[in-house]
Amino acid sequence: MIEIFVYTLATVLVMFVFGSGLTLLATPKQLRKYAFWLSPWYFIFFIIFTLTTFSLLGFSTADVGLFIILFLIGLAIYVWKKTSRRFEFSLKQELLLIFFITMSITLNLSPLIRRHGFMTTVSMGNNDAIVYTLPPDFLTNYSLQENFYLDTSYGVSGILDSGYRWGPAVIESFFLYLFNLQGYQLTYVLQVILYALSIPLAYILLQQLFKKSTMSLIILAIMFTFNANMLYMVYHVFFGQVIFWGLSLSILILLFSYLDILEKSKKNSVLYEVSLGTASVVFFLTYHEPAILIFAPLLIYLTYLFIRNKEPLHLKTILKIGFIALLLGSVSIINAVAIDFLQSFGSDPDAKIGWELFRTRVPYANPFEMVGFWSIHNFEPLPIFLAIILSLVIVSIFVYGFIRLKKNDLLLCYINLFLFFVIWMGPIKKNFFAYNRAVTYTLPLFLIIFTIGLTELSKKGKVIKLIIFSSLILIIFSGIKLNKRFLREHASVDKSYISLQELPSDINEPIYVEENINQSLQHWRNIWVSYFIYPQIKNSRFPMKFINNEYALRVPSGGLVMIAKPVRRFQPTNVLITEKVWGNEYYMLGRICNDKNCLLKSSEDLSKIEMGKSAYEDSLLIKGWSVKEGGDTRWSNNKVTTLRLVAGNNNVQSLALETFSLSNDQHIQVFVNEESVGKKMISLEWKELVFDLNRPAQNEVLHIKLVFDKLYNQAQMGISQDTRDLTANFKTIKLR
């Protein structure tokens, strides 16, 4: 338990201490009063840019980490001893920010604190966590350059080779090197910290657009800490999006400050231009997908200014910043623009969204839900009339806040682009994934404007102020409700997965995982077993050969298979093992029996399958079978389903199936060794169907194929919320 608090505090302190000297030196004078809260993000910008550069040159984090640490510490000492630059503090506001940061971190680490007691990765269900865990492990001891020619696992190469999203992996690899940790221990904790540290950035931007206000700070911090839409991204470990919020807010802070200087003094600033150019490069190196939402409005705004005023200063400035960015990160930027264009105009509305919808009816968030007063991830939709009224109230407050802004011309460009994407991805393309991403990408900026509207309204009287603070209870309630759901429903890298580190290192042959046998198993389980047993660079442990046979498992007979022992919530994979090679409390590594000779030699009764009871069920059920559900039945989920049974010493003359279907128009045709033995209708109730074999069978493996007329979906039929396509359910299949 104590390690959670120690490493969390140490990570935060490192960001502030290591970033202090750099921030005080590099922060423009106009922003120096915010330097304390900018220091973690200056540190992040520096680490991502520096380590990525070194890594592309062939140096790993371990190669250069010590030099970077010494440089940053030396820089901090120099600034504190040789210069007069110091952090500026406003005690009340700094204490409030520290309070909300601590609250945010504690709330979001609650699964580790209350359920696990150690540093690990948790997720509300999405499997993206592995994408942000393996690459930092790799970059700790290897470089990006090496990744392009070494035969690395897909978990490593997927995001580094084609995605060019190096930032999250690079920044995490620094802390893995510093603390001597593994990726699975730090990934979730680090993104929770980064999310909390974006709260001060939002307040700094609010001050630039509006003014310093304790009321604004409290409202904005509550909305950030408990906004269910943003927490949902954190709980699904969308690390890239979490760090995007901080990077984009930092860029906007620099941008608005620089535009203010240009408008007042009509003079450019090299420090601002270099800072914005470098920050833009880091943005593209980290999470380039939403770049259009940050940079396109700026280009529109500058074009508008140029046409209206015929003033070339802004255009020259943006060209300089763009030139610096291209000079420093041309490869990543060009790649990002090409990929993002294809994704934007070629997105599939039916593509998997990466998480399960809480509600299928009206999943799209309206303005009332976007702000966080009502959650699409916790509650069913409000009545349409009420939703419209409440949304109009939210929009009115937002418009009121927008009117009170100092720089609303540029922000109008951001709002118009946001509305374009929301309308395009929502009503037009009906792509919830793209719609929800557009909403959550831009939500921090909209929360800031909405907060300004609430702050101005609070001046209208004590009653209005009381109503505002009372309404914030809804946001807090929605956030806590989602957190409680997260505590109940999350997946985790628990002690069973971690125990696989005990596996002997001298096993020099392929090790297969359960997914290679049964692809309907939970993916979370399979990716984390692979994480601990497969090295980052492929070697003899990686599966090399698979069998392509509709009547046999994919794993070669005699191959090593890692099988989980029965645990709560997970149904074990039941296969025939001939030899146990290794095992512990949670897993067993053994050689699988999968060919004809091995099956015939087995002393086990392989002539029948009792679903949920047979010890070798998954050795006999081959293709077209759905997941185990913990009972004594199992569904077929394909029109063509295969299995095999072994006829022993006694002659068998028939095949009996105990089954039922979801409709009385379902038929099943049975083939044994590719010969049809009959076709019958399946009842709506449990019934045994018997098919006589064309000839008696003895001492042979029978290949059985079940062919169905139709697939049924219980959700579409209104029977249940089960969205699987199914044919029939089975209790027993046996030879007689």
Q: What is the pLDDT of residues 694-736, one digit of tens each?
A: 999 889 999 999 999 999 998 888 888 788 899 999 999 999 9
Sign of CA pseudo-dihedral 595, 596, 597, 600: positive
> Across-strand partners of 687?
659
Model pTM greater than 0.75? yes
> According to the model, what pLDDT value does residue 149 have?
81
Q: What is the CATH code for 606-736?
A: 2.60.120.260
Tokens encoding 491 = 């997946």
At 482-501, the pLDDT tens digits run: 999 999 989 999 999 999 99
Q: How far apart are CA 644 and CA 268, in angstroms?
A: 77
Could you give the C-alpha distances from 7 to 120, 178, 588, in angstroms and in order? 12, 11, 33
Could you give the C-alpha distances from 431 to 293, 353, 507, in angstroms and in order? 18, 9, 47
Quickly list DSSP for 668-713.
EEEEETTEEEEEEEPPSS-EEEEEEEEEEE-SEEEEEEEEES--EE
> According to the model, what pLDDT value does residue 349 have?
47
**Counts of helices then strands in the chain (DSSP H, E):** 26, 18
CB-based contact 520:625 (threshold 8 Å): yes
Q: How far apart are CA 107 and CA 733, in angstroms?
A: 50
pLDDT tier, 413 (very low <50, low <70, confident <90, very high otherwise): confident
CA dihedral 359, 363, 368, 371 (to 10 degrees): 90
Tokens encoding 225 = 């800490």
Q: Count the neighbouring beta carbons within 10 Å of the beta carbon of residue 438.
A: 23
205 vs 524 pLDDT, higher one: 205
Q: How far apart are CA 119 and CA 6, in angstroms?
A: 10
At 502-560, the pLDDT tens digits run: 999 888 889 999 888 887 777 888 899 989 998 877 776 777 789 888 899 999 999 99
Residue 413's nearest CA partner among 599, 537, 259, 553 is 259
Q: Count the neighbouring beta carbons within 10 Å of the beta carbon of residue 121.
A: 26
DSSP 503: S
Half-sphere exposure of 42 (CA within 13 A, CB side): 26
Beta 687-697 vs 652-661: how paired, if at all?
A: antiparallel
Q: How far apart are CA 443 and CA 449, in angstroms?
A: 10
Greatest mean pLDDT among 179-193, 297-311, 347-361 lies in 179-193
Q: Phi then psi for 567, rounded to 5 degrees?
A: -140, 165
User: Ramachandran region of residue 658, left (φ > 0), alpha (ψ -120 to 50) or beta?
Assistant: beta
Hey, where are the domains in the chain?
A: 2-487, 500-594, 606-736
pLDDT, mean of residues 29-44 = 94
Q: How far apart are CA 638 and CA 484, in angstroms?
A: 37
> Across-strand partners of 491?
123
User: Ramachandran region of residue 718, left (φ > 0), alpha (ψ -120 to 50) or beta?
Assistant: left
